[in-house]
A and B are shown apart, each in its own frame.
Chain A
Amino acid sequence: MSIDLKANTCPNREQRAGAVNAYYGKASDLVQEARNGTLTNKEREFQQSSGCVLNFYLTTRVVTIRDAVMIVHAPVGCSSTSLLYREVYRRIPLSEGRPADFDLHWLTTNIDEKDVVYGGADKLRFAIREAEERYKPKAIFVLASCTSGIIGEDIEGVVAEVQPEINATIVPVHCEGIRSRIIQTAYDAFWHGILKYLVKKDIPKQPDLVNIASMLSYTWQDRKEITRLLNRIGLRPNFIPEFATVEQFEILGAAAVTAPICPTYTDYLSRGLEQEFGVPCFMYPSPVGIDHTDEWLRTIARYTGKEKEVEVLIKEEREKWLPQMEKIQNEFASIKPNGEKVEILGSLGQGRLLTQVPYFEEIGVSSPAAIIQDFDNLVLDEVQGIIDQAGDFDVLVNTFQAAELAHITRKYDPDVALTCPFQGSAYKREKGATRIHALRGDARQWSAQAGYKGAIAYGNFLLQSLKNKAFQKTMLAKTPDSYKDWWYEQPDPLHFTKQKGV
């Protein structure tokens, strides 16, 4: 489906890519059903809070754009996650390369009882002018909400009306929480606004520029590692959206290639840049693990004419890091008797499924099943590739459903459960548990996952989790479980679902 920048917003992921967020079964069946077009979503009778289009942290990402202002056109609660804006990134030491001069700002229009009756257009108009006057930004992002959507606010109309008197480029983002079950729709909606309003046409190409859309879960060290590698072959990364300047969005169309860190996150942007600005892109692989980092760099090199340089780089890097990787492989191999592999179960986005399963292969551990937030038909070939490589596996598609995660963690009983704070009590167990990733403001070497350095750091990090289980065992013993016993005694993590249309 081609991207239509004349439209106010993108289609939902459900429409664009047949996305679902409830499935349990074999990966091969999932791919097959998606190919046949027979994959339908299910309605959960029991469901848990899992983030919406606005609030799977779109706000906390948009607010990090350095010379912009974010206006959340919503009641006061919808933007409360952004209260951490003045601290995010601040603990990254200047010595690690954080720019000293940045100051982030956001406003809420604070939609109240009066506004839901009479409309909040005046307030939004006021907020845009206030943002301009106060902060003199280069861009103003206006984020929609459930409430602005249901009361029928004409955000486009307000934007068109005030733009002539405002220096900043106003970018409306249609991230009404109720518009879609698939949180990925948020990113498509955001990229739609970026492509439509910010990316400049007819600017000189920058043949050494590589666009990289980075995720909340990729840390400062990951950016540093990627920068290091690209710089070695004479290229420069353009990291967006986190911590970028507005100019970095404007020049997206001038880049040589758009490279993935998480293909499903970047998909809409990558396709849009290709279609509208002629910037080629690729979706696979991401720079996680040594082999995939090689391939990622090689693919970039093909688009930038750096084929020779990249081979030199890869050779040097492999010499440097492979001995350390072998140590990690040996240690994993020695943990269980009879060559049995350590089992790790992680909950991931579609993108992490494509990166982590091969990485686990590389370090010599196995994953008994995969848990992914949502699934769509954008990466079917890639998932098929993983099945071909690692064998078929069970997949649970759910967006942060803590009870389902607790269920499946107990059912597969892996040696290590990778959890994040969004996963409820699944860390309470007899066996290992550790965090799946750190967040962007964590500047410690320890938290790296990308590139060669990250492959080693992450391997060692995972090894640590097998060395002491005291915390999770204690918590299992000393705190009651949230769910009743019958939940674990029946076999189906999707026990409470009924078939429904999309």
Chain B
Amino acid sequence: MGTVTPLRTKEETFYPGVVEAPRFSCALGGAYMSTLATFGAVPILHSGAGCGMSQNFGQNFGAGLNGAGPNGNTSTPCSCLVEEHAVFGGEEKLRDLIKTTTELVRGSLYAVISGCVPALIGDDVGAVVKEYRGGAPVIHVNTAGFIGNSYKGYEQYLEAVIDQLLTPQPVVRKRVNILGIVPYQHVFWKGNLQTIKNLLEKIGVQANMIFTENDGLEALQSIPSAELNLVFSPWSGINPARKLEEKFGTPFVVIPSVPVGPKDTSAFLRFLVRRLQLRRTRVEKVIAAEEHRAYRFTEYMADIAMMALPHAYTAIVADTGTAIGLTRYGSNELGWLPEVVVVTDDPPEEYREEIINHLTEGLESAVKPQVHFEIDSHKIRLLLREHTLQLVLASSLEKHIAVDELSAMQVSVAFPVYDRLIVDRTYAGYRGGLALMEDVAYKYGGPL
């Protein structure tokens, strides 16, 4: 460990993990963000003092300049481990912290999230947490920064909830859970969740957003009562969905992306008609009314769309779900030409072929995108330079590159987004495409 092996001259091993500015934080970061997104839940970090606060710039602000809320950032209880704990163990400190936190901080659920330090020094965090069963529930997300990235942490949080909090419930017809939308990493997460929930309500389906539900604990506890789990990503959220299937028998379906614009939204609703055996006529009525309104409104933006970006060569640099949704909307409704897509959320190998299919099939555009999986921001920059582009839908890391090096317009739509505030903005649903065009045209706007 830690010894210096002799210098190898040529043929050095390539380390794909060594990268410039990957677009996520660690697994602790992901579990922490998911806890903050559960209203009423209080995260308790068992970690170094900086693991929480650093996520304020790294996750909260990175997701459209968001504040961390009442229990985030410096308001987050943390054991703030230093060397003496590393030597003598951090369990006593954690014991004190859980006790005082439950005494002092209002909450209906406490989630102890362990980071790198306790994992390396071998604290038995699970045992300490178990001592506190009885009052408000305390769960333990057994993670560490070196175990994986934010997406992993999101899944680990849900898995901890499933294992430690959930009990079987009678299944309620037409109730579904929304999975796969990762708080903060998917920068439009709040708006996406609410839009899907509202949409489903219109067709008589009750959706549990889990995150941002007014009573977070109740939302978690009612997860097993769903008839179906909807995973809005080809990959993230599938592990907890599988776990729910094993444990409670709830089936799940994968919706490759949050639907953007009328076409994909209607297709999504029609899919649910079949899957949940809903009354077709009722849903078709909703679809007809929504589409009418959406396309009537599209006429308001049609002129500027034709002026600003007719048949634009487009690059999309985003997490899998966002990339699929925007590629499809741009290609199938606005007439854009999806030239290149860079997927930045590091999906596991086994999902990649399927993701490529989602990004390249079913597109009206004669131009099909070149698809790359890349987490290295330097390589992404070099990659983009190989293309002629007019529009770059990406993170704010591409903001200046698009303008200075690609002569293209850029809108920040994927993590990290440091150049705009995203509170409940969303590109999901019938109105979502219009919202996207509003943001795009804002960059174009000016004297004609």
Contact = CB atoms under 8 A, between A and B. Distances in A.
A79 B57 CA distance: 10
Interface in A102-160: 105-113, 115-119, 121-123, 125-127, 129-130, 134, 146-147, 150-154, 157-158
B3 A77 contact: no
A421 B96 CA distance: 27
A207 B67 CA distance: 46
Contacts of A403: 75, 104-105
A76 B25 contact: yes
Nearest to A47: B80
Interface stretch (B47-55, B192-200, B271-279, B318-326): B47-55
Interface residues of A, number: 88
B390 interface: no
B53 A422 contact: yes
Contacts of B306: none
Given A49-B45, A483-B104, A84 B61 contact: yes
A152 B1 contact: yes
Nearest to B55: A80
A119 B54 CA distance: 25
B106 A45 contact: no
A425 interface: yes
B117 A161 contact: no
B117 A49 contact: no
Interface stretch (B13-21, B215-223, B285-293): B13-21
Nearest to B377: A86
Contacts of A126: 12-15, 18
B234 interface: no
A84 B62 CA distance: 8
Given A75-B145, A87-B419, A110 B400 contact: no
Contacts of A245: none
Contacts, number: 282
B332 interface: no
A370 B117 CA distance: 33
Given A80-B57, A126-B18, A157-B4, A49 B116 contact: no
A111 B149 CA distance: 11
Contacts of B20: 105-107
Interface in A151-193: 151-154, 157-158, 161-162, 177-181
Contact of A111 (B3, B12, B146): B146
B358 interface: no
A78 B61 contact: no
A80 B58 contact: yes
A38 interface: no
A483 B105 contact: yes
A107 B97 contact: no
A423 B72 CA distance: 10
A110 B57 contact: no
Given A86-B397, A421-B67, A56 B53 contact: yes
B204 interface: no
A180 B82 contact: yes
A36 interface: no
B329 interface: no
Contacts of B96: 45-46
Chain A CB within 10 Å — which of B18, B51, B396 has the most?
B18
A54 B12 contact: no
Contacts of A157: 3-4
B78 A47 contact: yes
B5 interface: yes
B1 A46 contact: no
A151 B101 contact: no
Given A84-B416, A126-B13, A483-B105, A421 B120 contact: no
Contacts of B301: none
B30 to A, nearest CB: 9
B23 interface: yes
Given A49-B78, A150-B117, A151-B2, A81 B13 contact: no
Contacts of A55: 48, 50-51, 53-54
Interface in B79-116: 79-83, 85-86, 93, 96-97, 99-101, 103-106, 115-116
B29 interface: yes
Say whether chain A's binding surface is mostly helix, strand, loop, or mixed: mixed
B75 A80 contact: no
B147 A113 contact: yes
Contacts of B145: 74-78, 147
B58 A146 contact: no
B70 interface: yes
B77 interface: yes
B4 A48 contact: no
A496 interface: yes
A409 interface: no
Contact of B116 (A60, A75, A154, A422): A75
Contact of B400 (A43, A86, A105, A178): A86
Contact of B76 (A48, A76, A108, A496): A48
Nearest to A105: B20
A368 interface: no
B73 interface: yes
B116 A85 contact: no
Interface in B119-158: 120-121, 144-147, 149
Contact of B49 (A112, A117, A162, A177): A177
A94 to B, nearest CB: 12
A487 interface: yes
Contacts of B14: 126
A110 B19 contact: yes
A421 B73 contact: yes
Contact of A83 (B19, B58, B76, B101): B58
A95 interface: no
A43 B12 CA distance: 47
B421 to A, nearest CB: 13
A330 B146 CA distance: 57
Nearest to B2: A152
A198 interface: no
Interface in B255-310: none
A402 B57 contact: no
Contact of A46 (B19, B45, B104): B104
Interface string A31-65: 00000000000011111111111111100100000
Chain B CB within 10 Å — which of A77, A118, A127, A424 has the most?
A77
A313 B76 CA distance: 48
B106 A81 contact: no
Given A150-B117, A151-B1, A49 B80 contact: yes
A401 interface: yes
Given A76-B149, A422-B53, A482-B106, A121 B18 contact: no
Contact of B23 (A83, A121, A123): A83
B378 A121 contact: no
B57 A77 contact: no
Given A76-B145, A77-B26, A106-B21, A90 B400 contact: yes
Chain B CB within 10 Å — which of A48, A56, A423, A480 has the most?
A48
Given A48-B75, A150-B120, A181 B82 contact: yes
Nearest to A112: B146
Interface string A64-102: 000000000011111111111111001000000000000
Nearest to B121: A150
Interface of A: 43-57, 60, 74-87, 90, 105-113, 115-119, 121-123, 125-127, 129-130, 134, 146-147, 150-154, 157-158, 161-162, 177-181, 399-403, 421-425, 479-484, 487, 496
17 contacts: A47-B79, A77-B115, A78-B51, A81-B54, A86-B377, A86-B396, A109-B17, A115-B146, A117-B1, A119-B1, A119-B3, A121-B3, A127-B18, A147-B146, A421-B73, A422-B73, A425-B75
The 8 closest A-B pairs by CB, nearest first: A77-B26, A80-B58, A49-B52, A52-B50, A55-B50, A110-B17, A46-B100, A75-B145
Given A47-B79, A77-B28, A425-B70, 8 more contacts: A77-B26, A83-B23, A86-B401, A108-B19, A147-B120, A161-B4, A178-B48, A181-B49
